[in-house]
A and B are shown apart, each in its own frame.
Chain A
Amino acid sequence: EIVLTQSSGTLSLSPGERATLSCRASQSVSSSSLAWCQQKPGQAPRLLIYGASSRATGIPDRFSGSGSGTDFTLTISRLEPEDFAVYYCQQYGSSPLTFGGGTKVEIK
């Protein structure tokens, strides 16, 4: 099983600032099968990034993903008020499918 570790539990940032979130895998994620999703309280997760760096349909270009192998990053270039939420990474390269523990981006 691939364990995903999101080391930053909470990021306290201001609107307009840049957010950099990390996700480290316990073993290499095949075919860069790494996704990022956003979850707001009481809502289902929303897919942001797949294939490590491809934005899902309708996702603003302030969201970008990078990385390969075991280290991946989600960057939000300029935080908008609606971006304050919890972000999860997910690997879908091998079964069992697994999720990271999440990083909460909160308003400073």
Chain B
Amino acid sequence: QLQLQESGPGLVKPSETLSLTCSVSGGSISSSIYYWGWIRQPPGKVLEWIGSIYNSGSTYYNPSLKSRVTISVDTSKNQFSLKLNSVTAADTAVYYCARDGYNQKRPFDYWGQGTLVTVSS
């Protein structure tokens, strides 16, 4: 069974960079035909897709966040990561990683449990 787990600091200061890692088990990123994505959900608000990456390093991002986002992959560790720079309180959210089937005409199907990141001084 494919499992995803987010990790990273739960508190980030304004103007700094938010960094999270998603560890994948039960399947290999390097041999997968799927993309791997990040989605966030501010408290009490709607889900927002951030961006996704393929095992080759090919990425696609939400234009609303593209200027501040970098997603990378480390196939040797079976992980992919998110960096969001210049954060503000508006970036406070639960951040989820998930398997993204966009290139296979499939939705997000496997999700991590999510991790709350608070932006505060």
Contacts and interface: CB of A to CB of B under 8 A. Distances in A.
A35 B105 contact: no
B89 interface: no
Interface stretch (A10-18, A40-48, A70-78): A40-48
A98 interface: yes
Contact of A90 (B60, B64, B108): B108
Contact of A33 (B48, B49, B62, B105): B105
B111 to A, nearest CB: 4
Nearest to A57: B109
Contacts, number: 59
A67 interface: no
A99 B96 contact: no
Summarize B's interface: helix, strand, loop or mixed. loop
B63 interface: yes
| B98, B107, B111, B114 — most chain A CB neighbours (10 Å) | B107
Majority secondary structure, A binding face: loop
Which residue of B62, B108, B109 has the most chain A CB atoms within 10 A of its CB atom? Answer: B108
A31 interface: yes
B48 A99 contact: yes
B101 interface: yes
Contact of B107 (A35, A43, A100, A101): A35
Nearest to A102: B46
Interface in B60-95: 60, 62-64
B63 to A, nearest CB: 6
B47 interface: yes
B56 interface: no
A80 B74 CA distance: 42
15 contacts: A35-B107, A35-B108, A37-B108, A44-B112, A45-B47, A45-B96, A45-B108, A47-B107, A50-B107, A92-B108, A95-B60, A96-B62, A96-B63, A99-B47, A99-B48
Interchain residue pairs A-B with the least CB separation, the first 8: A35-B107, A44-B111, A99-B47, A97-B49, A96-B62, A92-B107, A47-B109, A50-B107
